[in-house]
Amino acid sequence: MRQKLLILYLQNSALDSPVVGWTRYDGDTLAPPVSGDEDEPPYATGLDALRDGWRTIQFSTLEPRLGELSYQPGWQSFEVIMEKLVETPR
Amino acid sequence: MKRLGVGEMTCFVRDGFLKLEGLVPTDLCDAFRAAYVKDCKDDRCGRALLPVVPWSTPLAGAFGGSEVLSRVFALPELSGAIYSLLGPRCRVDHHVMHIREPNQGKSQHLHCDAMIDARDDAFDIQVMIYPQDVTREMGGTLVIPGSHTRKAGETSIARYQNLAGQVQLTGPAGTILILHHNLWHAGRRNASNSVRAMYKIRLNPTGSQTGHWDMSDYDAAKARGPKPLHSPATDKQDVQGQLSCFHPWADIRSAHLDIIQRTRLWRLLTGDEEFSVHHFLSRLENEPT
């Protein structure tokens, strides 16, 4: 079994909110990951990815952030890590 | 010199960078490549060709031994942009060549240069100069518009591969990018058959960064005037309209805080401590006794 990861960054904490950033890691290929080459997200929302068979394995926690009370924005607040497992013969 | 006007300044505060397309003339680009790129195919080779400049050397006179670099930094649009953002007597932090060989499989990770930088009352700029045409296939610098308000240390943000609204630099030879030091960026993979070179210099201010741009057509009262909440910018003079945008990659939690940070940066560059995008920052400053 090999793992494919799809990491989605959402506009808010709801899984059905729009995808504003995305990352892929594919354990089934030797090709290196590439930054900045894609113009369109793979799914419009996190829920669309779920409906396409991606299994959610981690959400960002929902809690106040250090720095927010001095009005410093953080990085991406709402990260969802999803996986698919593929059968790959050696 | 040709200083920046209100339109360029609002773009810089909103996006964290400016693009000066094809600014360096063709003959100067040719001379630049002949002096500092030659047959190099990697960074180490290109850097060895540059003059050594000690950090904190005043930019004025830093390149007395290089006619090419002296001519580049004397270009009125470039010297005016540097003056507008940093003020007089800025200093060289460091400079480097980045050279990417053809047919690369890998890209750089998204990052901010150097360690996390907590300054709110001053900023450095980075000037990136591309002495040859840059096509999309050649993998010019990736920048995330508006990310200069998000303080990050080096490659802590490397996991972000694609963000909505990201910009892949392309342009004719002589194109220049001017970046706020906190802007998230990365060198994209060069999938073409051509070498891609980029010269980068970081510059530090030595005094106040307030009011050095061309404010002759800036109407401070109009910039502060009431405006419907989140209404689109009507023109380049519509400072609140320009600075109130939500960048498409920003989550809603941080997008309002970005506006607070842009407001603070606009105050720094104008000296107008009453300026507020809508009532967002002025509301937070209201602490009746």
Question: Each residue of B106-156: pLDDT tens digit?
Answer: 899 999 998 888 898 999 999 999 999 999 999 899 999 999 999 998 899
Q: State the average pLDDT over residues A57-66.
A: 88
Which of B162, B253, B256 would best serve as a mutation to test chain A binding (most A beta carbons within 10 A)?
Answer: B162
- Strands B162-163 and A19-26, bridge-based pairing: antiparallel
User: In this predicted structure, what is the pLDDT of residue B115?
Assistant: 85
The answer on pLDDT for A67 being more than 90 is no
Number of domains chain A is built from: 1
Q: Is the dihedral of CA B251, B252, B254, B256 positive or negative?
A: positive
Average pLDDT for residues B50-63, to the nearest whole number? 95
Which H or E run includes B127? strand B125-130
Among all residues of chain B, which has the CA nearest to that of A22? Answer: B162
* Torsion from C-alpha of B160, B161, B167, B173, nearest 10 degrees: 120
Q: Compute the average pLDDT of residues A2-23.
A: 97
Q: Please list every residue in chain A whose beta carbon sits closer than 8 Å to the beta carbon of residue B105.
A: 31-32
Choose from B251, B252, B261 for mutation: most chain A CBs within 10 A: B251
Is-contact A33 B161, C-beta < 8 A?
A: yes
Residue B111, pLDDT score: 95
**In angstroms, rounded to a whole number, what is the distance separating the alpha carbons of residues B277 and B275?**
7
Q: For B57-62, what is the mean pLDDT?
A: 95
pLDDT for position A36: 93
CA distances from B91 to B49, B55, B57, B58 (A): 21, 8, 5, 4
Contacts (Cβ under 8 Å, ≥6 apart) of B30: none
* Predicted confidence (pLDDT) at residue B237 exceeds the cutoff of 90: no
Q: What is the pLDDT of residues B203-231, one digit of tens each?
A: 999 999 999 999 999 999 999 988 888 88
3-state secondary structure of B186: strand
Q: What residue numbers bound the domain in which A74 lies?
A: 2-86
Mean of the per-residue pLDDT values for chain B?
94
**pLDDT at residue number B241:** 93
Q: Residue ranges of the domains in chain B? A: 6-204, 220-284
Cβ <8 Å between B159 and A23 = yes
What pLDDT score does B253 carry? 86
CA distance linking residue B180 with residue B15, whole number of Å: 9
Which helix H or strand E contains B35, and what residues bound it?
helix B26-36
Query: What residues of chain B, 162 to 221, have a C-beta less than 8 Å from chain A?
Result: 162-164, 166, 168, 186, 188-189
Please give the share of chain B, as a percent, with pLDDT higher than 90. 84
Predicted local distance difference test score (pLDDT) of residue A90: 61
DSSP notation for A6-74 = EEEEESSSSTTSBEEEEEEEETT--SPP-SS--SS-S-SBHHHHHHTTPEEEEE------TTGGGT---
In total, the C-beta contacts within 8 angstroms joining chain A to chain B are 99
> For A58-62, B105-109, B186-190, B232-236, which range has the lowest pLDDT when averaged over its residues?
B232-236
Does residue A24 belong to the interface with chain B, where contact is any CB pair within 8 Å?
yes
Q: List, for residues B267-281, the tens digit of each pLDDT value.
A: 999 999 999 999 999
pLDDT at A65 over 90: no
Q: What is the pLDDT of residue B34?
A: 96
Indicate whether this complex's ipTM tops 0.85: yes
Please state, for a pLDDT cut of 90, what percent of chain A lies above it.
77
What number of other Cβ atoms are within 10 A of residue A43's Cβ? 19
Chain B hits for A34, Cβ within 8 Å: 106-107, 161, 188-189
Q: Which CATH number fits domain B6-204: 2.60.120.620, 3.30.300.30, 1.10.3720.10, 3.30.9.10?
A: 2.60.120.620
Q: In the numeric block, which tokens belong to residue B3?
A: 């200083």
Residue B235 pLDDT:
85
Closest CA to B59 of B40, B39, B73: B73
